[in-house]
Structure 1
Amino acid sequence: MAGAITNSRYLVQAGWRDVPHLSEAVRLELEKETPPHQRKARMEGIPSLGAGAIYPIEEEVFVVDPFQIPHYWLRSYGLDVGWNRTAAIWGARDPDQDVVYLYSEHYRGQAEPSVHAAAIKARGDWIPGVIDPAANGRSQIDGQRLLANYINLGLHLISAENSVEAGIYDVFERLSTGRLKVFRTLTNWLAEYRIYRRDEKGKVVKANDHLMDATRYYVVSGIKRGIRRPVQAITTEPGARGAADPIAGY
């Protein structure tokens, strides 16, 4: 139990571990019944992410050390485009456990589509993806033109479903049930995650959320597009034999 005194108030911080009448067996049972993202708050009285956080889940629940992704896992990516920032997130799904791992990111602003396309293909030009159908706030027609542009540059893309609230729920459901993990090397993704929030009116704050949007596209529409690494890619891609980054595969 901890307390802090100010000129106007006294704050008491307490959790299950500070309750004397609970036995250790009861505490363990309560811990098992509590969602992972609520354990620190309920057990130790440590406040979790702010009330406006869209995904109020502690990073330690889903952040993992990078590892070599098996060839048979299903890979795809989500793409959010814009002049100030274009972002892509790659995921690999373990088909045996239905657990998805976000393992690579592209995060760059003020560059032409050809520059982004080259970076995306470097992760594996065989990997399919999904893109924002409205091209980050442009009209549907402009979005389709940009989609055609990226396809002409060699990307295997289709438009993603863009239901914001439903997509946020799908991402949250995977995070909170342990079916969405994130490599700790995705520093830009984690930076956005920490400030992804709603305003006082409950609306999503549309700032520095490009990888969050790309993740939503990936979870809603991209996971189902995932494919295994082709045999030819296993033997010929740099990622298969001594790549600069053998974990990410390029």
Structure 2
Amino acid sequence: MRYTLTGAQKKALDLLKSGAKHILLFGGSRSGKTTVLVLAILYRAWHYKGSRHLICRLRAKDARSSVLQETLLPMLRKTLAKGEFRYLAHESKVTLSNGSEIWIGGLGDREQADKILGHEYNTIYFNEISQLSYAAVTTAYSRLAMRVPGCRNLFLYDCNPGSPLHWAYKIFIRKQQFLCGEPLVKPELYASMLLNPADNKENLAEDYIADILDALPDKQRARFRDGAWVKAEGVIYEKFDETMILSPEDLPENFDRICAGQDFGLNITNVKIGICNDIIYVLSDYGAYNMTTKSFNTELLARGLFQWNGDDVDFPVYCDPAGGERIQEITNGTKANNSVESGIDFINAKIERGQFFIANSCIGTLSEVWDYCRDEAGEIVKVNDHYMDALRYAVFSDAQQGVIAQ
């Protein structure tokens, strides 16, 4: 099986021989990241008979259109003879003549997630992880458990970089555990490499870099041409900065009010806030993937949701009003005010006045706050916004309750 690669892509493939178990390729648009990792999976599938491999991203349809149709199938047709592979569209998988399988799916849909996570794999490739929550990725970790003689199981990742608060930046670049900030126990298991369009210039249209990437606005150019970890273009909470991230000892001991916001879905999240002298403090957050509401509520109680400084505190939990009967499964659950634009404006006003802070332990909220953005049409990008929704439910519902009380 032969395939022509650039010098940079060959170096990226060498990472698979480094002994690392987690390998991330990050960088600009059309830099060849997906090509390298799909080729690695195809080689492993062909070399290790009867092995199974997973390629997944947030939405299954995106995995099929971008990775399967644009990369995997053309590569198969170029490297294998007719009859040596078969694509089963109804199962979203490719089978090779040696009995190996390559599955394609999405982690953003419960039915799809249950289907692909019902198997064990030798390779799991998370495509475009800037769109995936840490909870979704780590839930899939347990499925890297298939045993094939000689095949070393691997996690592969790629992305156009997100903000410096994203979980992947913390783990792969800063070499810190995402949940606590402590150094990685085995940093040698995590390897990464920057690949940019200039490294793949020979495979791009002549004008792609000069006329398209060079002409992008500053932040988009930094991300999609230079592979830099920066705030997203059109970020909604643009004026939030790192001076607003507080350590536990800098938080007030007492609050005028405490409440929480609750978002439902495959990615289920809760954000607790405290209000003191009209200043909003995000005190704690918790999220899970593919967990029932009842089990999630049990976990919230075990984590001391209704406690602060060792004391029990009774407060409302403002839930996504579209949650229906699930609201009743949340302790003190009540419908939130879901005025999206008004809620965003209110939080932005607090940020601009210096009346908004986030505890550094709120890793979910922090990982989304700089990637929560609008597209070119001004619409909110509905990716990695679960903590942002829960935050808005808490903040704006509390504000509206205060107005009503007056």
TM range (shorter): 0.5 to 0.7
Q: Identify the residue that residue 184 of structure 2 maps to in structure 1.
A: none
2:250 aligned with 1:74? no
2:231 aligned with 1:55? no
2:328 aligned with 1:148? yes
Q: TM-score, normalised by structure 1?
A: 0.61
Q: Identify the residue that residue 242 of structure 1 maps to in structure 2.
A: none
The 4+ residue runs of structure 1 with deviation greater than 6 A are 6-9
Q: TM-score, normalised by structure 2?
A: 0.39
| Aligned residue among 277, 281, 292 for 1:101 | 281
Q: Identify the residue that residue 14 of structure 2 maps to in structure 1.
A: none
- Runs (5+) with no aligned partner, structure 1: 1-5, 14-47, 136-142, 227-250
Q: Identify the residue that residue 366 of structure 2 maps to in structure 1.
A: 190
**Shift of the alpha carbon at 1:120?**
2.3
| Aligned residue among 365, 369, 394 for 1:218 | 394
Structure 2 CA distance for aligned equivalents of residues 220 and 54 of structure 1: 16
Partner of 2:349: helix, strand, or coil?
helix
Q: Identify the residue that residue 130 of structure 1 maps to in structure 2.
A: 318
**Shift of the alpha carbon at 1:225?**
6.2
- Computing the radius of gyration from Cα coordinates, the structure with the larger value is 2
Cα distance, 1:225–1:200 mapped onto 2, change above 3 Å: same
| Aligned residue among 261, 271, 296 for 1:89 | 271
2:300 aligned with 1:112? no
For the aligned residue pairs, the C-alpha RMSD in angstroms reads 2.6
Output the amino acid matched with 1:92.
Answer: G
Q: Identify the residue that residue 229 of structure 1 maps to in structure 2.
A: none
Cα distance, 1:69–1:223 mapped onto 2, change above 3 Å: farther
Instruction: State whether residues 80 and 214 of structure 1, in contact with CA within 8 Å, keep that contact through their aligned partners in structure 2.
Output: yes
Instruction: State whether residues 255 and 275 of structure 2, in contact with CA within 8 Å, keep that contact through their aligned partners in structure 1.
Output: no
Partner of 2:367: helix, strand, or coil?
helix
Partner of 1:134: helix, strand, or coil?
helix
Cα distance, 1:7–1:203 mapped onto 2, change above 3 Å: closer
Q: Identify the residue that residue 350 of structure 2 maps to in structure 1.
A: 174
Output the amino acid matched with 1:54.
Answer: I
Listed one character per residue, the Cα deviations across residues 126-176 of structure 1 (whole Å, up to 9, x for unaligned) are 3321001012xxxxxxx2x221233xxxx1121011111111111111111
Structure 2 CA distance for aligned equivalents of residues 164 and 146 of structure 1: 21
State which drifts further: 155-164 or 48-57.
48-57
Structure 2 CA distance for aligned equivalents of residues 225 and 182 of structure 1: 22
- Runs (5+) with no aligned partner, structure 2: 1-208, 219-229, 307-311
Q: How high is the sequence identity, in percent, across the aligned residues? A: 27
Structure 2 CA distance for aligned equivalents of residues 204 and 175 of structure 1: 19
**Shift of the alpha carbon at 1:69?**
4.2
Listed one character per residue, the Cα deviations across residues 64-91 of structure 1 (whole Å, up to 9, x for unaligned) are 1123642454211011011x21111111
State which drifts further: 201-210 or 124-133.
124-133
Listed one character per residue, the Cα deviations across residues 10-38 of structure 1 (whole Å, up to 9, x for unaligned) are xxx9xxxxxxxxxxxxxxxxxxxxxxxxx
Output the amino acid matched with 2:318.
Answer: V
Partner of 1:174: helix, strand, or coil?
helix
Output the amino acid matched with 1:162.
Answer: N
Structure 2 CA distance for aligned equivalents of residues 213 and 200 of structure 1: 21
Structure 2 CA distance for aligned equivalents of residues 191 and 221 of structure 1: 23
Cα distance, 1:216–1:7 mapped onto 2, change above 3 Å: closer
